[in-house]
Amino acid sequence: MSWKTTTHPLFDKEHLAAYCSEHNIPAFRIKQIMHGVFGDHHIDINEITTLSKELRAQLNASFHINTLKVENIVEWPESTKFLFSMPDETMIETVLMYHWHEKKSFKTRQRKILRSWTKPDISSETHTLNRITICISSQVWCAVWCIFCVTWKLWFKKNLDWSEMLMQIQYANNYIKQKFGKKDDGTRRKVRNVVFMGMGEPMFNYEHMKKSITYMLDQQALWLSKRHITISTSWVANAIRQLVDDKIDVRLALSLHAPNQPLRLELIPMIAKKRPLDELMETIDYYVKKTWNRLFYEYIMIQNKTDTPEIAHELGQLLQKRNAHVNLIPYNENPAMPELTTSEFDVIMAFKKIVEQYWVTVTVRDTLWRDVKWACGQLGYEKVEEGL
C-alpha cells in the first residue's frame, strides 16, 4: 500500500518562514528548528525537544522531516547501503562509505586491496574513522544507457525533488549518530563528503540538484565545504554551462570512459550520440576556463575494450593540455553484461603509466564494495539479477 504526504519539508526555509510569520511564531524558532534537523540530526519533529510539545504538535500537522522509509540496511566494515522506499512506492539506494585510517602503530602494514581484490581487515584496534562520504541518488533508476552499469536496466522512473536528495543525507547522519556516537572532542560524527554518484544522472535533474546543493552549503543547514561536494555526470553540455552561469562552484567528475567517439558510442550510446566527444571537450574547456577548477575524469577499465596501450595513448593525448585528474575504475560485475570482465591489475598499472607520460595525474580506484554489489555501476544489482 502506498502512502501520501501533504505536508512540507520542515527544513524548507522559505515555507517555514512564511508559516511562522502567519502563525505568529517567533523568528528565533526557525534557527532552533534548523539546528534540530541539521545540527542534532533529528528525523522526527518530536525529537526536537528544544521546542515545546504544543509547537511540535502544531508543526507535525503541516510539516515532515523525512518521508523515506527504510526497506533494508546492509552493513559492511567500510560501508552501509540503504534501500529506501518513497511515498509512491518507488525505490532508491544510498551508500555510506567509511574512510578508515591505520593507526600509527600499524603503519607498517601495506594495503594491497587492488592487487588481491580482498577486503581490508578493519578493527577499532588497528584503524580510526577519518571521514564519511555519502553517495546519493538523484533519480529513481537512470535514463543514461551505460552498458557497463546495472542501474539503467531498471529504466528511468522519475526525478527526485531537492528535499528527497537531502533526506538521504539526513537519514544517514541520524544513522551515524546512533552507530558511532560522538568524537573524542564531543562533536558529532556526520557526513563530510557528498557525491552525486548514486542512481540517476544529476544533470538531467538540474534545478532540484542545484537547490539541494544550496542547502548543503548553507551555514544554517548542512554547512559543507564546496570542495566536499562532487557531481558525477555523463556530461550534459547545456547543464554544465548553466552550472557555470549559476556559480555552483563544486567539484565535477566526468564519466568519460572512452577517448574516442566510436568507443564512446559503444559504451554510452545515448549520451555519445547526442553529445559527440569534440563537443564535450569544447564544453570542458569552457568550464575550466570559467572556473579554474580541475576536472576529474572517471574511466572504466574493461578487459580488451578500454584498457589497451593504444587507447591509453589516446587518453593521454586527449587530456595532456587540460587540467585533468583521471580515476581508473576497475569494471564491476554486471549481471546484464556477463561478457564484460575487469582488467587485470598489471594491465591497469601499465595503462596508468602510459597516461602519466602525458603529464596527466592518474589514480586507481579501490574496489572495496564490489563483493557486496555496492560499487560503481552496481546499484540495483539484486533487482536486475532477479529479472534475468
Summarised one tens digit per residue, pLDDT across range 235-266 is: 777 899 999 999 999 999 999 999 999 999 99
Statement to judge: residues 99 and 39 lie in one domain: no
Please say whether the beta carbons of 327 and 363 come within 8 A. yes
Residue 190 domain-assigned (yes or no) = yes
Residue 378 domain-assigned (yes or no) = yes
Give the total number of structural domains in the chain. Answer: 2
Statement to judge: residues 181 and 52 lie in one domain: no
Statement to judge: residues 290 and 270 lie in one domain: yes
- Mean pLDDT, residues 76-96: 91
Statement to judge: residues 102 and 53 lie in one domain: no
Statement to judge: residues 53 and 76 lie in one domain: no
Look at the block and give the residue holding cell 535533474: 205
Residue 1 domain-assigned (yes or no) = no
Statement to judge: residues 45 and 75 lie in one domain: no
Residue 294 domain-assigned (yes or no) = yes
Summarised one tens digit per residue, pLDDT across range 114-167 is: 444 445 566 556 678 889 999 999 999 888 888 888 766 667 889 999 999 999
* Domain residue limits at 37: 8-64
Of 38, 64, 90, the position where a domain reaches its end is 64
Statement to judge: residues 316 and 295 lie in one domain: yes
Q: Which of 78, 93, 201, 333 is catalytic?
A: 93
Residue 331, CA distances (Å) to 321, 351, 378 in order: 27, 14, 10
Conformational region of residue 182, where left means phi above 0, alpha means psi within -120 to 50, and beta covers everything else: beta
Please say whether the beta carbons of 48 and 36 come within 8 A. yes
pLDDT of residue 184: 80
376 part of the active site? yes
Statement to judge: residues 35 and 145 lie in one domain: no
Q: Which of 135, 142, 146, 376 is catalytic?
A: 376
pLDDT of residue 6: 72
149 part of the active site? no
Statement to judge: residues 188 and 43 lie in one domain: no
Residue 200 domain-assigned (yes or no) = yes
Residue 341 domain-assigned (yes or no) = yes
What's 34's domain CATH number?
A: 1.10.150
